[in-house]
Structure 1
Amino acid sequence: MTETLSTENGRTVLRMQRALRHPVEKVWRAITEPGQLAGWFPAAVELDLRLDGAVTFTFEEDPGAPVDLENGGVIRAYEPPHLIEYTWGVEVLRWELVAAGDGCTLHLTATYDDRPGSASFSGGWTLCFDALERVLGDTVPERDYAVLHEHFVKAYGLDQGVVLDDGGVRFERQLVRPKEVAWALLTGAESAAVGSPPPAGFVAKGIDPGAATEVAEAECLAYAWSQGVVTWALRDGNGGARLVLTQTGPAAGYLDAWRDVIENLAAELVR
């Protein structure tokens, strides 16, 4: 299996492929028939199999909920048994099957806007492809999503922060556990309160922190430093918490130190 991540026309494009031991026609049924999709796709799917046909996605945890437009789509390309492309909200999924000997190669091209979520998408689709092979009759060992996620973070460079035009720095990092778990690790045995120094887990090497100016448990902590403000923000993300860390002021020199703090947190969350 191979993966590439690129930016095209302002959007993130993820390409993945997997060689399968089964002919195109058999795999085509597995990627288009709702009964077989149920065995591997991340949502229940109903497709009107024609160009411009409607697609609906339903999640098992709320089967009675009304159809949300974000969980609907339309078929934009349809050439059975080799190509189907459809939207899922604002995301575009393109599935192509290419014959290879007695089997075929499945190509997935996913186009979306959430680049920091790319490790989650790649890890999730990897597990889905494993499940697809099981639907096709193969034996595929179970894999750990968290380990896959962190592999893709490193492969795509999603662990790197950026220096902003004003000299501040920003990190956006998808994590593999809920925000409450990340918060507990960051605070440790200390407490976080406005007017008190921030727990050590929120401070990078070389920074002399002022008192916390904002604290919302499991969601936000901000404090002053000598030339600006450090802000930690946590929200629900895809498969775990989404962390956004910013440091205002001339902060480029702290980029590596913050990366160490965040990656140590991420490693703890995998254990």
Structure 2
Amino acid sequence: MTETLSAENGRTVLRMRRELRHPAEKVWRAITEPEQLVAWFPTAVELELRVDAPMTFTFQRDPGAPVDRQTYGVVRVVDPPRLLEYSWGDELLRWELTPTSTGCTLDFTATYDDRAGSGSFAGGWTLCFDALQRVLGDTVPEQDYRVVHEHFVKVFGLDEGAVTDGGEVRFERQLVEPKETVWERLAGPETVRVGAPPPSGFVAKGIEPGPVTKADVPLELTYSWSDGEVTWTLRDGNGGARVTLTQTGAAAEYLNAWHDLIEELAG
């Protein structure tokens, strides 16, 4: 299996490949028939194999939940048993099957806007493709999503921060724990309140923090430093908390310190 991440026409493009020991016709049924999709795809799927046909994706909640969450898409291309392309909300998914001497090659392309979430997307699809192979009859060992997620974060460079032309530092990092858990880890036993120093977990090495100027547990913490402000924001991301860290002012020298702190948090 191979994976690449690129930027094309202003969007993020994830490409993944698997060599399968099954004919394209068999794999086509597994990626298009709802009764097979339900065993490996992230949602239940309703679709009709014709161009412009609507699609429904249903995230099934726990038994007894009053309503399942649904999203929608449209079939864009159908060429059995070779090519299927459709939208899923704002995403575009493309499935290509190429016959080989031993079965077929599955080339998967996902196009979307959330580059920072690519570790989650690639990790999630990896586990889905493992499940697809089990549906096809293969024996595939279970993988730990957390390990796979962090692998792709590193491979795609999603742990790297950026420095703006004005010297501001910015990180956006997807984690696998909920925001409440991440906040507790950052805050530790210290009390977070406006006017007090920030808990040490929110401060990178070398920074002399000023007082907290905004605290909205577990969503945002802002405090001053000599050249500007440091702001942490946490929100629900794909599979866990999405953390955004910004340090305004001439902050470039702290880029590596922030990287180390955030990666320790991710670990």
Same fold (TM over 0.5): yes
TM-superposition CA deviations, 1:86-118 (whole Å, max 9, x none): 000110000001111131111100000000000
Alignment gaps of 5+ in structure 2: none
Letter in 2 for 1:159: D
Q: Which residue of 1 is the match for residue 91 of structure 2?
A: 91
Q: Report the 3-state secondary structure (helix = DSSP H, G, I; strand = E; otherwise coil) of the residue aligned with 1:183.
A: helix
Letter in 2 for 1:235: R
Matched-pair contact (CA < 8 Å) for 1:18–1:106 = yes
Does residue 186 of structure 2 align to residue 223 of structure 1? no
Does residue 109 of structure 2 align to residue 109 of structure 1? yes
Shift of 1:166: 2.1
The 3 A distance-change label for structure 1 pair 67 and 204 is: closer
Q: Which residue of 2 is the match for residue 15 of structure 1?
A: 15
TM-superposition CA deviations, 1:89-148 (whole Å, max 9, x none): 110000001111131111100000000000000000000000001111111111000110
Quote the Cα distance in structure 2 between the aligned partners of 1:262 and 1:66.
34
Matched-pair contact (CA < 8 Å) for 1:38–1:44 = yes
Q: Report the 3-state secondary structure (helix = DSSP H, G, I; strand = E; otherwise coil) of the residue aligned with 2:138.
A: coil
Matched-pair contact (CA < 8 Å) for 1:212–1:224 = yes
Shift of 1:65: 4.0
Shift of 1:67: 7.5
Query: TM-score, normalised on structure 2?
Result: 0.97
The 3 A distance-change label for structure 1 pair 67 and 207 is: closer
Alignment gaps of 5+ in structure 1: none
Matched-pair contact (CA < 8 Å) for 1:130–1:140 = yes
Q: Which residue of 1 is the match for residue 137 of structure 2?
A: 137
Quote the Cα distance in structure 1 between the aligned partners of 2:44 and 2:193.
44
Q: What's the RMSD between the two structures over aligned residues? A: 1.3
Residue correspondences, number: 265
Quote the Cα distance in structure 2 between the aligned partners of 1:237 and 1:78.
32
Identical counterparts, % of pairs: 66
Q: Which residue of 2 is the match for residue 162 of structure 1?
A: 162
Q: Which residue of 2 is the match for residue 263 of structure 1?
A: 263
1:204-215 superposed matches below 5 A: 204-215=204-215
Shift of 1:214: 0.8
Quote the Cα distance in structure 2 between the aligned partners of 1:108 and 1:21.
17
Letter in 1 for 2:218: A
